[in-house]
Amino acid sequence: MLAVDMRSQRSQRNERHQKGQRIRKNKQFEKLLSRTVLLNFFAIFCMFCMFCIFVISLLGITQYSYSKDLGKYGHTFDIVEVNFLDFIHVKLKALEQSGFLAQWQREVQDQVKAKMLRPTPVNIPTTVTPDVFYYQPIMTLQKNIIDHTGKVIYPKGLTINALDISTYPKVLQQYALTPPIYDTVLLFADGDDVLQVKWLKTKLMQLQRSKTPLKVILTGGNVHEVSLALDHNVRFDQGGFITRTFGIKAVPSIVTKDNVSMKIQEISYREVVFLAQID
């Protein structure tokens, strides 16, 4: 009997403990709920106030409100802080007198000059297994071209090859009486490679004898130094835009017009070495 009474007492204590926990949890939940409701009410009240202010300013009510000048009460003080523009002027004057500005200006000029003479290289390798491939300057319209009345002049999907008159719209074909002429030879090479510069010099002499228009485009090197070495103006493929357009994967390369395409001919580095040895 004593054991039964003890078990009964423990059971009652457990029930009271569990009941107390439930009551505490309910109170915590009610407190959290009340806080949430209060915050939501405050947020809605703030939004309502902002909306009222917006409506009042939109209607221009503030422009016609009547107010009274109550005058000035208390002491007023002048602004003693230094004007920010004057502060900057004083700082610049001090930097100028110390020589810092002149030094900074020279450094910037040197950096710009160095970047112009030696732009970031494209880093195209040489090859001993040269390839020949073709590029067509084709443009495809991504959307309809319309006039001021909404009439479609050139439809979406129209494909035009700049070197092929037959692909031109009929409206434009009447103005292209002769095929586009592009007889300039493009020579691509790395100006940091002495052997490629010698190859360029040999090719220049050959093309100049035949009076063929040409352009030298570097993928690396110093533009001024290579120009002096070749005694010819050179250009630089900044950002690799031209080589990327033609799909050039190796230098030296020669680009010429071939019918309605541009022919890209890679030059074996063995040929470059051979021509340099002859020279």
Q: Which residues pair with 255 in a beta bridge?
A: 186, 264
Could you give the CA distance from residue 60 to residue 71 in angstroms, rounded to a whole number?
A: 25
Residue with more model confidence, 1 or 193 = 193
> Residue 275 phi/psi, 5° resolution?
-65, -35
pLDDT the model gives residue 155: 87
From the list 132, 136, 165, 131, the residue with the least C-alpha distance to 261 is 136
pLDDT (0 to 100) of residue 2 = 40
Please state, rounded to an integer, the average pLDDT across all residues of the chain: 81
What is the Cα–Cα distance from 98 to 217, expressed in whole angstroms?
Answer: 44
Can you give the pTM of this predicted structure? 0.61
Return the structure tokens found at 226: 């290579």
pLDDT tens track for 202-255: 999 989 888 889 999 999 999 999 999 999 999 999 999 999 999 999 999 999
Query: Cα(164)–Cα(1) distance, rounded to whole angstroms?
Result: 112
What is the per-residue pLDDT for 45? 65
For 270, phi then psi, to 5°, come to -65, -40
Confidence of residue 9 (pLDDT cuts 50, 70, 90): low
> Taking the CA of residue 70 as centre, how many other CA atoms within 13 Å lie in the half-sphere pointing to its CB?
3
Task: Give the contacts of 56 (CB within 8 A, at least 6 positions apart).
Answer: 62
Between the CA atoms of 42, 44, 46 and 47, what dihedral angle is there, to the nearest 10 degrees?
Answer: 170
Q: How far is CA 17 from CA 9, 10, 25, 26, 31, in A?
A: 12, 10, 12, 14, 21
Taking residues 253-258, what's their average pLDDT? 94
Q: Long-range contacts for 32-36 (Cβ within 8 Å, ≥24 apart)?
A: none
pLDDT higher at 244 or 167: 244
